[in-house]
Amino acid sequence: MTFFLSNHNGPFALPAYHHLAEALGVSKRTIKRDMAALRAQEPDLPPPRGG
C-alpha cells in the first residue's frame, strides 16, 4: 500500500474504497472513517477515489 500512496501520480491507480474494504474484510464505512483520520494527520494523501 505504501507504494501506491507514495507513487499516486505513477502508472498505477489507487484502489477504490470498496476494493480496500473487500481486501481487508471490513465495511466501506470503516475505510471511509479510517481514511478521514489518516487525512487529518497526512493532508498530502491523494484524494479519495470511489468514496
C-alpha radius of gyration, the chain, whole number:
11
Percent of the chain at pLDDT exceeding 90: 37
3-class state of residue 42 by DSSP? coil
Distance CA 23, CA 51 (A): 15
- Note down the domain range covering 27: 2-41
Q: Is residue 51 domain-resident?
A: no
pTM: 0.63
21, three cell numbers: 474494504
Q: Is residue 21 domain-resident?
A: yes
Q: How many domains does the chain have?
A: 1
Banded model confidence at residue 29, pLDDT cuts 50, 70, 90: very high
User: For the residues 5-26, what does the mean pLDDT come to?
Assistant: 76
**Helical residues (DSSP H) of 1-51, grouped into ranges:** 2-6, 17-24, 28-41
Q: Is residue 25 domain-resident?
A: yes
